[in-house]
A and B are shown apart, each in its own frame.
Chain A
Amino acid sequence: MADVVFSSWGGKVVDNRQGGEPQAAVFKLPDSYLDEGRIGAFMGWDGIILYDREVDIVTMAAEYMKRVQEKYCCAKCTPGKRGTRVMMDTLGRIVAGAGEERDLDILAGLADLLEHCKCTLCMTAARPVLDSVKHFRGDYLAFIRGERQARAAKSYHDKLTAPCTDRCPAHIDIPAYVEEIKEYRFDEALDTIRRNMPIPAVCGRVCPHPCEKSCRRALVDEPISIMVLKRVPADNEWMHHRQPPMQTKAPNGKKVMVVGAGPAGLTCAYYLSLEGYQVKIIDMLSEPGGTVAVGIPDYRMPRPLLQREADIIAALGVEIEYGVMLGRDVSLQQLKEQYDSVFLGTGAFKSKPMGVEGEDQGYDGFSPGGIHYLRAVALGEPIVTPKRVIVVGGGNTAIDCVRVALREGAEESILLYRRTRKEMPAEPYEVDDAEEEGVKFIFLALPTKLITENNQVVGVEVLKMELGEPDASGRRSPQPIPGSEYIIPCDLVIPAIGQDPDLSYLQGGDYGIKQTRWNSILTHGGTMMTDNAGVFAGGDCEYGAMTVVVAVGHGRRAAPGIHRYLTQGRAYHDKEDAMEDIINGLGAFDKTEQVGLPGGLHREHQPKIHGPERTSNYEEIELAMPESQAVREAERCLRCYRVGMLAVNG
């Protein structure tokens, strides 16, 4: 990493221009930009970062403001629309040698005024300009006195982002769709979402919404309900029987095979299809959705809606064939021969072993894993859920299992977790929901042995735990209390402590596809291409069991990767992808920011079915948020847009 020459990033000024002992400042920016050259400077919402003295900050500020005004300014507020225009023209005059010293006061004054903008796009765009006027005044005066000429960097690259958008693995333009909801434009909101994510009905329901962890509104009161707001326009289209508006490009004659109709595969197929590819999906299951379909119970994600999402994608011309398993019914080699490119989105369907005594003995009453149990129930397979069920684990799958067990007739459904409720990776509201339904929790308990009679599990031996010091991840790690073993009687034990991809299909040939040490497929450079040219992978099989939105993000990246591979012979990152990743590395959310706005407006919650009677069926629990309520929620959005720009020097 190059040394910083000057930085005002985050309001902290580091100025090494005059030499002397260099002050350190480290930013998570790469040294170079694609293969274009070294990054000389970055200008954005939080200030200026200058690595290369050769980058002329005045010229860069003029270019930055021009791009903000002409490419990004939404024009929806006066200071933004006109203020950035006046700033752009003023900077342009200065750079052209026609500036006056009082122009610097105008720039500074406007930067102040822009603090009163409707959103943060122009507001934050004025900040690096103000910093430049403050800290590079001499350079400005040199221009004004005619002593200096404009000196552009080799290239500039810009990107519009927002903390939520940046955090979203699919990089959905969240402020845009929230604003569209605020303006009662649900169709447009859906169009915006679909630019990055083709399964909004799913991600509006079961996304773990990392975006909400980067919501600036949370610094004022509570985060925006970004996930539910995604469901609202999806519900709107569905409830109005509206046909989605997407049109595919003319067929380009190329064929792509997508293995797996889960979120990654559906997403990849969707964007390829829009691009004009003839796409076929095969899936080992009898219905679309992958883990979302058979791993998430219907009361959280009704499968008819998942089917509708798949139908929409199929309506674009994507062929989906169910009941076909890679490695069993068809080999990767065959697919490679028949298709121009293959995308592997085969998920992670292999339960991790628990490491308890007896789990490999094939006892009755020991489930191969939570994901198997959920799938068997979802597909209506003939399994019987006995009276007393113990589920081991603290994640969403574990929670789903205990709740499904209740619905399948268990009288007692117990979740066993080795840490405490606070450390559970499951969504807190789902833990609450499970409790409301009558699930019992036993925390700080580690199963050690299956207790059996006549090959039938009758109980599980458990060791009590206590929390020790926080480990590297910050979570307090559980420590066993020696001699604290006791037995909990039960009829079924379901381990739900994680899943691995089942990549046995790679063993059928010499594909050269490397794997990670977590038994997932290795891909390169964010293009999602494996070591076998033309074979791409994404979702759980690439990352290990992760979230639906990560899978969508992979599918969205893989599609253009495949497109570039098939049209230009190589899968590569384009400028958009590169800037997305650079800004993601730098981070667009400062959780210590003092926003300076009054709060006190609570987040809106969608209506919900309560009471134990809900455990008698699989009806959806979280009901559609009324649109008027969604509009109120959307009004809370602070529209935290921001523009970053790189200067690249040779």
Chain B
Amino acid sequence: MSHSLINLKIDGKQVQIAAGATILEAAEKLGIKIPTLCYLQKVSPTGACRVCVVEVAGTDKTVTACNTRVVEGLDITTQSEKLSAIRRQVVELLLVNHPLDCPVCDAGGECDLQDICYSQDVTSQPFTAEDVNAPTIDHWPLIQQVPNRCILCEKCVKICHEVIGATALLINDKGDKAFIDKDLARCEFCGNCVQVCPTGTMISKPFKFKARPWELRKTESVCTLCSAQCQVRYESKHGKVLRVTSADGVTVNDGNLCVGGFFGHGYLNSAERLTEPLVDQQPSSWEAALGRVSSDLARLRDAGGGQSLAGLASGRLTNEEGYLFQKLFRVALGSNNLDSEARFGLLPAIGILRDQLGLTAASNHLDRIGQAEAILVFGADPTAEAPAVDWQVQLAHRKRDAKLVVANLRRIKLAGQAETFLQYRPGSEALLAGALAKLIVARGRADNDYLTQFVGNRDELLDYLDSLDIDQVCAAAGIERALLEEAADHLGQAGSVAVIFGRDLMQCAGKAAAVANLANLALVSGSLHGDCGGLFPVEEKGNAFGLLDAGVCTEFLPGYQPYASGETFAKAWHATLPAGGLDAGGILAGIEQGSIRALYLAGCNPLVSFPENTRWRKALQKLDLLVVQDILASELTAMAHLVLPGAAGAEKHGSVTALDGRINRLAKAVDPPGEARPDLAILADLYAALTGKPAPSETALRNEMTELSASCSDLCQNLEQRRFCWKHPYRPASRSLRGAAPSLAAPASAALQLLVGKSLFQFGTTTTYCAATCELESAGAILVNPEDAARLGIAGDGVRLKVTGPAGMLTGPVKISGQVPPGLLFAPYNFAELNAQQVVAGGNCVAVTATKA
């Protein structure tokens, strides 16, 4: 399309606008408001309602402003008696047989149909027709559809297809009986159809009849259910969050939410919330509980040294809380035994990216995925792990002609949409990433300028890639060479490439080599080059990046400063940094050996989230002191000596860091339940009690962290006045990047393997306490390929299967699915009862045996 400018006249005023713009956009530029009803900026214009009709001089017919592109010399009239009459009649037609249940309609008070009636002065009804009176659709989970209220604007259908890419909604039937129907199997229950519905047609069942919109207190914040951190508006009444919305246009997620964001907040009001401190499982005052924690910790420290204490935190903590947590351990308790769940994937991956590329988060902002010309999604299921990443892929691929290459063990949603789907075998990740890099080079499509300018060991990298044998890789990965070459061409030919990787890659058995070769691939494909595309590690845990930025791991201080050279911190903290330090594995071994006597778990539940958790379960029982600071009751809190009820993201202030280095401000929407307290307050009191210093404030902690870690720009100093700020942009120095040469081994073959990953509908274990998401998936099922099912004698869904792996055994119901290839089982890790993590060790995909239970 040409980028020329078009001149036209609207209501007598001249305006100039880029070719391709619509009349509506041109009018907006002039500040002329044309009424609309079915128009939704983020989807293709529909032109259904005809409310935005305008007149064009010299032509007889009206045109709709929303979907008519400007051409040179148009003379548009937006207000006239003729237009008013059309608009009024159109709305009158919309109101034919529209139910008069506004008093109990969910949209009452925020209904676009009500508003348009007022603005167009529609006060009578000249038309009559027999009432179709279609029955309400009530059999869908979570969402109710009231066809009688529908104006068939298609916003829901279009957002479902164009933005989310689920393509579940459709228009069924003809004429006045036409209604919005759904292919339930495709629905992701993101709730965007409810959000965009201008009337009370699409209704959230959990929210229905809970509140009138004007009663709701609105708090702008971010969702911390995954590391994309969408901006949300918590809407609360009487101290309870009743719904979550997001605004179009102004938020990084453009108003879109996923099942977690829209429905997952139900855990906030769960009956299982921890509401008071427990000392030896008995309700206690905060004073007594914190007194016990600090005195016990001090006693054990004094007895066995700081090294007998350990702390595990999670991405549920804010940056300030994470910072204080590590400081509490390193300064107040003299222990560097610190870690989190990031140990099993994100942390080692970031370690490699940091070494090779100087990266500690994505190389570009999230929206740059949407601008890439080609996208590689490797070992990630963004739809489940970080839906906002999926929406960017949808945008680039569906609307902007980007080529999509998906490499995955499973036929995930994006695989079905990709140009090229590389369904590799477990263990071939590193080989495959290396082979793609090699083919890009070998086919003359490498970003040579970038390699020369930025990669210090370019020749070594090229030699290494040259040494890879493509046919061997194809054999090991089970992928045809032609397909691999096609994938390499898609990535190599594009001017900008987004490389997205996630859990399957970061947690696979050969993760170090896999991530190293992915970094090589990022270099040769030019994904680090320029403003579009980039390298994007996708992590589910909400503030995992912030937690690592804050130094909650044994090898890094805040800002990824190596622990071994922490003089600045020692000086700033007026402390000697404790020697040594254990990671999660070391902590587990330490507890088993009896050298670690106390464990402090802040938002971290190893009994479900960690691999080999049968070992953890046994080990925790040996501790002298188990402190659990969390928000929901679980098997873990039941075995803790001390339980400290903390606050969820909606219940506290602080900052959190998204996967793309966006530092977001959490705003407190409601109080934590009962006596529960923000985690910062708990940690600050402990810090004060253990050090005798005053309890640090959130701002002081943020400033201290910012200063010491130098990881974000100085804008963060005033985060209170902003919704978010950015970490320093990624600008590597010349020849500062490094290609790696990991040694590669062909994967061991196994007849049957189990992959453990994330459920589409659950986030961590947190949302398994949400009634809404549990309506979609409450217990988790083991996906089994039809061939394997036949081999195992499984007749159908629901049959229980016993799966035995290196670390343990699980039994659970089967779901027969073509999403997994023969020889691969998949189980979600989120469910405590299924507890898929108990089977795996050393990687998220392990050889198993399976029999009918």
In the bound complex, CA of A240 to CA of B177 (Å): 35
Does A113 contact B174, Cβ atoms closer than 8 Å?
no
Q: Which A residue's beta carbon lies closest to that of B47?
A: A118
Does A77 contact B49, Cβ atoms closer than 8 Å?
yes
Residue numbers in B under 8 Å from A525 (CB-CB): none
Interface bin, chain A: 35 or more
Contacts A86-B128, A118-B47 given: A70-B69 contact, CB under 8 Å? no
B419 CB within 8 Å of chain A: yes
Does B174 contact A76, Cβ atoms closer than 8 Å?
no
Enumerate A277-326 residues with CB–CB distance to B below 8 Å: none
Does A78 contact B94, Cβ atoms closer than 8 Å?
yes
Does B152 contact A75, Cβ atoms closer than 8 Å?
yes
What mask results when residues 71 to 106 of chain A are scored 1 for a CB within 8 Å of chain B, else 0? 111111111011111101110000000000000001
In the bound complex, CA of A182 to CA of B45 (Å): 10
Give the distance to chain A from B85, nearest Cβ to Cβ, in Å.
Answer: 9
Residue numbers in A under 8 Å from B47 (CB-CB): 77, 118
A219 CB within 8 Å of chain B: no
Q: How many residues of B contact A (CB 8 A)?
A: 58
B46 CB within 8 Å of chain A: yes
Does B90 contact A113, Cβ atoms closer than 8 Å?
yes
Q: Which of B206-214, B398-406, B430-438 contacts A (4 or more CB under 8 A)?
A: B398-406
Contacts A116-B61, A628-B399, A628-B401 given: A76-B175 contact, CB under 8 Å? no
Contacts A183-B161, A596-B61 given: A85-B176 contact, CB under 8 Å? yes
Does A183 contact B44, Cβ atoms closer than 8 Å?
yes
Q: Which of A208-216, A365-373, A598-606 contacts B (4 or more CB under 8 A)?
A: A598-606
A597 CB within 8 Å of chain B: yes
Residue numbers in A under 8 Å from B58 (CB-CB): 598
Does A69 contact B44, Cβ atoms closer than 8 Å?
no
Does A115 contact B61, Cβ atoms closer than 8 Å?
yes
What mask results when residues 390 to 422 of chain B are scored 1 for a CB within 8 Å of chain A, else 0? 000000001111000000000000000111110
Does A83 contact B93, Cβ atoms closer than 8 Å?
yes
Residue numbers in A under 8 Å from B126 (CB-CB): 106
A241 CB within 8 Å of chain B: yes
Does B174 contact A597, Cβ atoms closer than 8 Å?
no
In the bound complex, CA of A83 to CA of B126 (Å): 12
Does A116 contact B60, Cβ atoms closer than 8 Å?
no
Contacts A84-B175, A106-B126, A185-B161 given: A116-B151 contact, CB under 8 Å? no
In the bound complex, CA of A579 to CA of B74 (Å): 41
Contacts A182-B44, A184-B161 given: A116-B50 contact, CB under 8 Å? yes
Q: Which A residue's beta carbon lies closest to that of B60?
A: A596
Residue numbers in B under 8 Å from A24 (CB-CB): none
**CB contact between B158 and one of A106, A183, A601, A631 (< 8 Å): that residue:** A183
In the bound complex, CA of A75 to CA of B162 (Å): 20
Residue numbers in B under 8 Å from A594 (CB-CB): 60
Does A184 contact B174, Cβ atoms closer than 8 Å?
no
B127 CB within 8 Å of chain A: yes
Contacts A116-B61, A185-B161 given: A76-B152 contact, CB under 8 Å? yes
A239 CB within 8 Å of chain B: yes
What mask results when residues 161 to 201 of chain A are scored 1 for a CB within 8 Å of chain B, else 0? 00000000000000000000011110000000000000000
Q: Which A residue's beta carbon lies closest to that of B176?
A: A85
Does B158 contact A78, Cβ atoms closer than 8 Å?
no
Q: Which B residue's beta carbon lies closest to that of A220?
A: B59
Does B174 contact A598, Cβ atoms closer than 8 Å?
no
**CB contact between B63 and one of A82, A84, A597, A631 (< 8 Å): that residue:** A597
A117 CB within 8 Å of chain B: yes
Does B171 contact A77, Cβ atoms closer than 8 Å?
no
B247 CB within 8 Å of chain A: no
Does A82 contact B71, Cβ atoms closer than 8 Å?
no
Residue numbers in A under 8 Å from B162 (CB-CB): 183-184
Contacts A81-B178, A183-B161 given: A116-B62 contact, CB under 8 Å? yes
Q: Which A residue's beta carbon lies closest to that of B398?
A: A184
Residue numbers in A under 8 Å from B177 (CB-CB): 70
Residue numbers in A under 8 Å from B94 (CB-CB): 78, 82
Residue numbers in B under 8 Å from A635 (CB-CB): 67, 69
Residue numbers in A under 8 Å from B420 (CB-CB): 241
Enumerate B24-70 residues with CB–CB distance to A below 8 Å: 44, 46-50, 53, 56, 58-64, 67-69
Does A74 contact B129, Cβ atoms closer than 8 Å?
no
Give the distance to chain B from A311, nearest Cβ to Cβ, in Å.
Answer: 16
B86 CB within 8 Å of chain A: yes
**CB contact between B93 and one of A78, A90, A183 (< 8 Å): that residue:** A78
Give the distance to chain A from B37, nearest Cβ to Cβ, in Å.
Answer: 9
Does B96 contact A599, Cβ atoms closer than 8 Å?
no
Enumerate B725-771 residues with CB–CB distance to A below 8 Å: none
Does B128 contact A89, Cβ atoms closer than 8 Å?
yes
Contacts A75-B152, A116-B86, A185-B161 given: A598-B59 contact, CB under 8 Å? yes
Residue numbers in A under 8 Å from B399 (CB-CB): 184, 628, 631
B130 CB within 8 Å of chain A: yes
A52 CB within 8 Å of chain B: no
B614 CB within 8 Å of chain A: no
Q: Which B residue's beta carbon lies closest to that of A115?
A: B61
Give the distance to chain A from B36, nearest Cβ to Cβ, in Å.
Answer: 13
Enumerate B518-555 residues with CB–CB distance to A below 8 Å: none
Residue numbers in B under 8 Å from A72 (CB-CB): 174-175
Among B62, B174, B176, B401, max chain A CB count under 10 A is at B176
A627 CB within 8 Å of chain B: yes
In the bound complex, CA of A241 to CA of B406 (Å): 13
Does B60 contact A75, Cβ atoms closer than 8 Å?
no
A626 CB within 8 Å of chain B: yes
What mask results when residues 126 to 137 of chain A are scored 1 for a CB within 8 Å of chain B, else 0? 000000000000
In the bound complex, CA of A631 to CA of B161 (Å): 15
Does B63 contact A598, Cβ atoms closer than 8 Å?
yes
Q: Which B residue's beta carbon lies closest to that of A594?
A: B60
What mask results when residues 586 to 627 of chain A are scored 1 for a CB within 8 Å of chain B, else 0? 000000001111111100000000000000000000000011
Residue numbers in B under 8 Å from A632 (CB-CB): 1, 20
Q: Which A residue's beta carbon lies closest to that of B162?
A: A184
In the bound complex, CA of A635 to CA of B70 (Å): 13
Among A116, A596, A597, A626, max chain B CB count under 10 A is at A116
Residue numbers in A under 8 Å from B421 (CB-CB): 241
In the bound complex, CA of A601 to CA of B44 (Å): 18
In the bound complex, CA of A75 to CA of B174 (Å): 6
B106 CB within 8 Å of chain A: no
Does B49 contact A78, Cβ atoms closer than 8 Å?
yes
What mask results when residues 71 to 114 of chain B are scored 1 for a CB within 8 Å of chain A, else 0? 11110000000000010011001101000000000000000000
Residue numbers in B under 8 Å from A110 (CB-CB): 127
B154 CB within 8 Å of chain A: yes
Residue numbers in A under 8 Å from B49 (CB-CB): 77-78
Contacts A89-B129, A106-B127, A117-B50 given: A184-B69 contact, CB under 8 Å? no
Does A82 contact B176, Cβ atoms closer than 8 Å?
yes
Does A69 contact B176, Cβ atoms closer than 8 Å?
yes
Give the distance to chain A from B169, nearest Cβ to Cβ, in Å.
Answer: 12
Known: A72-B175, A84-B176, A628-B399. 14 other contacts (CB 8 A): A69-B175, A74-B178, A75-B152, A78-B93, A79-B93, A82-B129, A83-B93, A85-B175, A89-B129, A109-B89, A598-B68, A598-B71, A626-B401, A629-B1
For this complex, 29 residue pairs linking A to B, each with C-beta atoms less than 8 Å apart, are A69-B174, A70-B175, A71-B175, A75-B171, A75-B174, A76-B171, A78-B49, A78-B152, A81-B175, A82-B129, A82-B176, A86-B96, A86-B129, A89-B129, A113-B86, A113-B89, A118-B64, A184-B44, A185-B161, A240-B417, A240-B418, A241-B421, A596-B59, A598-B58, A600-B71, A601-B71, A628-B400, A629-B1, A632-B1
Instruction: Name the 9 nearest CB pairs between A and B, nearest first.
Output: A600-B71, A75-B178, A596-B60, A85-B176, A82-B93, A73-B175, A69-B175, A596-B61, A89-B129
Chain A residues within 8 Å of B, Cβ to Cβ: 69-79, 81-86, 88-90, 106, 109-110, 113, 115-118, 182-185, 239-241, 594-601, 626-629, 631-632, 635
Chain B residues within 8 Å of A, Cβ to Cβ: 1, 20, 44, 46-50, 53, 56, 58-64, 67-69, 71-74, 86, 89-90, 93-94, 96, 126-130, 151-152, 154, 158, 161-162, 167, 171, 173-178, 398-401, 417-421
